[in-house]
Every structure is written in structure tokens, then in C-alpha cells.
């Protein structure tokens, strides 16, 4: 049975999530955006011409399940999932708040697992050889002391991607991740406004510029497409060359 090309992007109200929605729509997917920001996701869905803009906190497993139930009842099964919802919550390492740590893990890692598992169950049930893309980070490989929970969550996303890819390969479902470097989003606004901070970022970025959200979206769309049909369990780092860099001068 042929299924409608339907993509769900969590964290889709702005930034990288919205750019993923744009790229997928251009690739022929009907796109549903979800986000915890009700006003933001409604506006984003309207601008994109999305099928729907849904409010969902991915840290709430019941809410994630209800969202998938609604999508399947109203639009059919999701054939591509992009887990883009994420938060950072920086703080001093020695005094880092445990509630903040738990919240970051709940959104970035647990939330990704819950949505991935729920999407995969329906794909398996309907015989859909779908694609799932998780949003990792270069901080799955390198660390920043002020964001310990974020680093831990993104390292977890890397391994979750691998485990899910192995579990779902027999069903023809591919699971990959994208690891952005320094991208021009709201998280970068403070750095962009500080010449010294921006100079530090440029010193560790061989391509000598900040990436754009759409440059992440295009890689996500590729991983959801038939052009990536033999790729699973991988994390593609889109970082301007930062990870291979040995030293700065």
C-alpha cells in the first residue's frame, strides 16, 4: 500500500526545526510542525503552508502519544520523523541544578526516544519503510563545561540513533542523526552580538562563518529521501570543519 509522504518535525516553530520543514516540503512531503510554543507553531505552520501546527511538549510522553494518535486519525501515518525539539539551559558546572539537568535530558533525549518509538511502532504496523532523523550536535563529540546536560543528552542521542537503527533495520526503517556546529539561531544570538565571542567561534571554524538553519534542513531532507536509502545509524556533522580541527592559531 502506498502511503502519503507525511513528515512530522518537532521543535518546528523556528530555527533549525522550521528550516527542516521547509526543506522537506520542497522535497514533496506534507509537513506537520509541532512545538511547545503554541503561538509560534501556529504562525510557523501558516507561513510554511504546513498540514498542521500542533502544540506538544515532547517531555510529556502522554502528550506525544496523543499527538501521534491525532495525526494518524486526521492525516494518516507519519512516514518521516525529525526529532528537533531541544533546549540547552547553561550553568556553572559545580553548582549545576539537578532539575535543569533532568529537564534537558527529558526534552532532548527522553523526548526523542518517546517520539521515535511511537513513530516506529506505526511504521512497522503499516509496513512503512520510513526515515527518522534525530538532532544531535557536535557536542556529542566535544564538550562545553557550561552545558553539561546538553552535552550528555546529545551524546545519548548519538547512541540512541545507533540502537534504533539496528532495531529497525529489519523493518526497512532508517534512523540517522545530524550534528550541527555553530548555526545562526536564537541560541547564537548572544554570541553574534559579542565580537570577542564570535571571534572565538570563528577561530575553531575552518570555513570561517556561521552555518544557516537551512544548511541543516537540507541534510535532514537528504536523510529522509531515497538518495540516502543505504544510510542508517549514522550521524552527519554539519559544522564548517570544526570536529576535524586539531588546533587553532
**Strand, coil or helix: what is 120?**
helix
CATH class (in words) of the domain with range 6-238: alpha beta
**pLDDT score, position 5:** 97
| pLDDT tens digits, one per residue of 115-136 | 999 999 999 999 999 999 999 9
As a whole-number percent, the residues of the chain with pLDDT over 90 amount to 91
Pull the grid cell for residue 248: 587553532
The single residue listed with the C-alpha cell 498540514 is 51
What size, in residues, is the chain?
249
Q: Is the per-residue pLDDT at 187 higher than 90?
A: no
pLDDT band at 72 (very low <50, low <70, confident <90, very high): very high
Query: What residues contact 184, with CB distance under 8 A and at least 6 apart?
Result: 192, 210, 211, 212, 213
Q: How many CA atoms lie within 13 A of 156 on its CB side?
A: 16
41 beta partners: none
Residue ranges per structural domain of the chain? 6-238
Q: Are 54 and 33 in contact (CB under 8 A)?
A: yes
Active site residues: 150
Amino acid at each position: 500500500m502506498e502511503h502519503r509522504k507525511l513528515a512530522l518535525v518537532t521543535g518546528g516553530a523556528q530555527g533549525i526545526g522550521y528550516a527542516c520543514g521547509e526543506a522537506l516540503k520542497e522535497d514533496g512531503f506534507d509537513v506537520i510542525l509541532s512545538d511547545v510554543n503554541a503561538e509560534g507553531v501556529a504562525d510557523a505552520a501558516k507561513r510554511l503552508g504546513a498540514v498542521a501546527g500542533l502544540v506538544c511538549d515532547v517531555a510529556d510522553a502522554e502528550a506525544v502519544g496523543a499527538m501521534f494518535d491525532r495525526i494518524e486519525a486526521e492525516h494518516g501515518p507519519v512516514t518521516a520523523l525529525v526529532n528537533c525539539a531541544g533546549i540547552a539551559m547553561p550553568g556553572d558546572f559545580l553548582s549545576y541544578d539537578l532539575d535543569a539537568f533532568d529537564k534537558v535530558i527529558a526534552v532532548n533525549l527522553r523526548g526523542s526516544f518517546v517520539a521515535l518509538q511511537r513513530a516506529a511502532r506505526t511504521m512497522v504496523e503499516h509496513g512503512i519503510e520510513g526515515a527518522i532523523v534525530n538532532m544531535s550536535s557536535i557536542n556529542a563529540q566535544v564538550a562545553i563545561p557550561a552545558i553539561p546536560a546538553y552535552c550528555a543528552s546529545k551524546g545519548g542521542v548519538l547512541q540512541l540513533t545507533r540502537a534504533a537503527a539496528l532495531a529497525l533495520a529489519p523493518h526497512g526503517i532508517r534512523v540517522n542523526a545530524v550534528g550541527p556546529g555553530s548555526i545562526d539561531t536564537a541560541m547564537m544570538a548572544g554570541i553574534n552580538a559579542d565580537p570577542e565571542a564570535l571571534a572565538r567561534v570563528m577561530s575553531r571554524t575552518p570555513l570561517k562563518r556561521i552555518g544557516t538553519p537551512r544548511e541543516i534542513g537540507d541534510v535532514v531532507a537528504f536523510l529522509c529521501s531515497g538518495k540516502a536509502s543505504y544510510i542508517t545509524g549514522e550521524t552527519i556533522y554539519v559544522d564548517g570543519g570544526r570536529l576535524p580541527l586539531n588546533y587553532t592559531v
